[in-house]
Amino acid sequence: ATPTALMVGTGRGAQLGILIKGPEVLESTRRVDTVVLDKTGTVTTGRMALHEVITAPGVSEQDLLRLAGALEHASEHPIARAIADGAAERTGTLPAPESFENIAGLGVQGVVEGHAVLVGREKLLSEWVIELPAGLAAAKAAAEAEGRTAVAVAWDGEARGVLTVADAVKDTSAAAIAELRRLGLTPVLLTGDNKAVAEAVAREVGIDEVIAEVLPQDKVDVVKRLQAEGRSVAMVGDGVNDAAALATADLGLAMGTGTDAAIEAGDLTLVRGDLLVAADAIRLSRRTLGTIK
């Protein structure tokens, strides 16, 4: 590829809403055969809203929302924001937690009004030897089968309820994935979220390969494993937890609507956070390279 042709490609990219780190980046798109897509904030909007409040017998909705909301208020996770906002709307001012700890990929834990509170995946509860009773587990499974994310709430050693949050698939995701397939790429959905939720979203957008329940620090290993299988991997992500995977992928595409860490780690930035532009980016660079061969 001549430098001039690559510069033209780079300029055309800017017009399409693609920021390219350097012209040489375009070269890596030639071989890419697999595109790994982060779920939350990439395939879905990441703008979640509190949907259902499911309580264990003897627990009031008010208490569940107040204690879970107070803890989540201290977290910046999209799930946390949905829960804190929904709780504040329904119960009023939330108390400030006495202590707070964010456990990446699992949830949050801390002390609120003297209670030791946990909000997050079932795995977080099981680390404290807390089990979800059958009623809550069934409600959680039903919500997940419909593609909603469900988190468990426990305090003082007992599961107290389940909160579900709904996140919408972006309007352009299904079309973008069809377009990526037309370009010969195999899409793979990668997420820390539950398998049932991930599969419901994958079905909605036309992805067959799903890798779910992956901890943030393990996303990069998924990329390495695919590369070890001989695949050349493009990764599309938006979160802090996607940064290492974006940097390791043969081609990293960051959502411009995402975190600075993701944008810094990516080779390309999709300015408007539209997945359709990911297909444009790959088509553009192939065309740029093609014209000069």
Backbone angles phi, psi at 250, to 5 degrees: -65, -30
| HSE value, Cβ hemisphere, 13 Å, CA-based, for 54 | 22
Report helix, strand or coil for 119.
Answer: strand
Q: C-beta of 27: minimal distance to Mg ion in Å?
A: 27
Q: Euclidean distance between the first and final Cα of the chain, in Å?
A: 7
70-93 in b/e form (b: 16+ CB < 10 A) is bbbbbbebbbbbbbbbbbbeebee
| Binding footprint of ligand ADP on the chain (CB under 6 A) | 38-40, 72, 75, 77, 79-80, 105-108, 119-121, 149, 151, 191-193, 216, 239, 241
Catalytic one of 38, 238, 242, 250 = 38
Which CB sits closer to Mg ion, 112 or 253? 253
Whether 38 is catalytic is yes
CB 130 within 8 A of CB 88: no
Q: C-beta of 141: minimal distance to ligand ADP in Å?
A: 14
| DSSP code for 171 | T
Q: C-beta of 227: minimal distance to Mg ion in Å?
A: 21
Which CB sits closer to Mg ion, 136 or 189? 189
Residue 109: alpha-carbon gap to chain centroid: 21
Structure tokens at 80: 């946390």
Which CB sits closer to ligand ADP, 9 or 78? 78
Stretch touching Mg ion by CB under 5 A, among 35-43, 123-131, 214-222, 248-256: 35-43
Which CB sits closer to ligand ADP, 25 or 48? 48
Q: C-beta of 57: minimal distance to ligand ADP in Å?
A: 23
Say whether residue 41 binds Mg ion (CB under 5 A): yes
**Which residues are identified as catalytic?**
38
